[in-house]
Amino acid sequence: MISMRIPDIELANISRFRGALMGIAMLIIILFHVDLARSDIFFGLRRMGNLGVDMFLFLSGVGLWFSWMKTPSCRHFYFRRLVRIYPAWLIIACLYYIPRLHVHDAASLVNLVGEIGFNWNFWLHDELSFWYIPAIMMLYLFAPPYMKLIGCHPVYRWLPVVMIMWCILVEWVTPIHHAVGHLEIFWSRVPIFFIGINMGEMVRQKRTIDGQGIWMLIIMFVMTSVSCFFLEQERHGQFPLFVERMLYIPLTITFILLCNRVLRRTPRWVNASLAFVGALSLECYLIHLHFVLDYLPKSWSYWPTFLACVVATLPLAWVLSKIVDRIAKTIIDLHEKWTK
């Protein structure tokens, strides 16, 4: 009897297909933001679009480890992250908040500056218009110390377990919940980001998982996806969201690894198209909801709305990326001139 050997699972494919995976994550987020009736049979599946954020954070963590290994400098790290995110954020924040937050006294001016500067009402009052931006900025702030720590003391790679414990404390320990419970959407995403950093070294070293492990991945993927679908479809609003977000951790990792198996076989134009969306993921995130989706007719059904949002968002995101690239290049040139 001839048995076919299942090819090993190559962790290097996480890096190889990172752009396409970011594109998939962005499309999942847009699907999540398109309205769908609570009674619809696909409501639970649409709600699972939250997964796109976890994919972003995991892949960002992997990418940061590669960057850190190339140039292990806090100064270089913070400068590059700031140049990558802040110009795009300032442009969009000004366009969004200036027409909405009218200045009539000193307090309102401070509020406007705080919102444009670093979206401070997310931290103060759980204002979620662009919550991912202040969240990722905070994670970037702590990434270099964490990478230094695990480089010197690998045992601290277990810290994401402590972060999961913290999520439980935030939800159930009353004094902590009253103090920082409004930031659940942030706390519950912290572990997957640092797990991504942890996996970065395995990806960089091109580690593999025995091909027979595919069955374990499939079992974990089915268990977590079915559980999340049930929770959202049947018990939406009746359970703490952090419970589902903890399920997103194994769901995110298994989904990415399974996607890699598919992306190895998809036509090049499919991967290139997804990578194009992935390259514009930051700009798409900033634009798609408040500058496109909010202005589409509410009478349209789900899929036409989604397609129209994607078609309208991509050219706007491309234009924004070109503007930001020019600004970033100017800043980098000036920085290099000043540091010589």
Q: Tell me, yes or no, whether 4 lies in a domain.
A: no
Q: Tell me, yes or no, whether 1 lies in a domain.
A: no
Measured between alpha carbons, how far is 333 from 340 in angstroms, rounded to an integer?
11
Please count the helices (runs of H) and the strands (runs of E) in the chain.
17, 2
Matching residue, tokens 């690998």: 154
Q: Tell me, yes or no, whether 41 lies in a domain.
A: no
208: β partners:
10
Measured between alpha carbons, how far is 288 from 194 in angstroms, rounded to an integer?
27
How is residue 336 annotated by DSSP? H
Q: Tell me, yes or no, whether 170 lies in a domain.
A: yes
Tokens representing residue 151 in the block: 């480089």
Residue 1: the pLDDT is 45
Q: Tell me, yes or no, whether 2 lies in a domain.
A: no
Q: Give how many domains the chain has, as a whole number.
A: 1
Q: Tell me, yes or no, whether 25 lies in a domain.
A: yes
Residue 260's contacts (CB-CB under 8 Å, 6 or more residues apart) are 9, 10, 13, 14, 16, 17, 21
10: β partners:
208
Q: Tell me, yes or no, whether 42 lies in a domain.
A: no
Instruction: Give me the tens of pLDDT residue by residue for the chain, a chain 340 residues long.
Output: 445 688 889 999 999 999 999 999 999 999 999 999 999 999 999 999 999 999 999 999 999 999 999 999 999 999 999 999 999 999 999 999 999 998 999 999 999 999 999 899 999 998 999 999 999 999 999 999 999 999 999 999 999 999 999 999 998 999 999 999 999 999 999 999 999 999 999 999 999 999 999 999 999 999 999 999 999 999 988 988 888 999 999 999 999 999 999 999 999 999 999 999 999 999 999 999 999 999 999 999 999 999 999 999 999 999 999 999 999 999 998 888 887 6
Residue 3: the pLDDT is 54
The pTM for the full model equals 0.95
Measured between alpha carbons, how far is 55 from 21 in angstroms, rounded to an integer?
8
Measured between alpha carbons, how far is 32 from 306 in angstroms, rounded to an integer?
10
Q: Tell me, yes or no, whether 66 lies in a domain.
A: yes
Please give the sequence-ordered ranges of beta strands (E in DSSP) within 111-250, or none if there are none: 208-209
209: β partners:
9
Question: What torsion do the CA atoms of 137, 138, 141, 146 make, to the nearest 10 degrees?
Answer: -130
Residue 22, domain extent: 9-34+48-339
CA-atom Rg of the chain in angstroms: 21
Beta-carbon neighbour count of residue 202 at 10 Å? 16
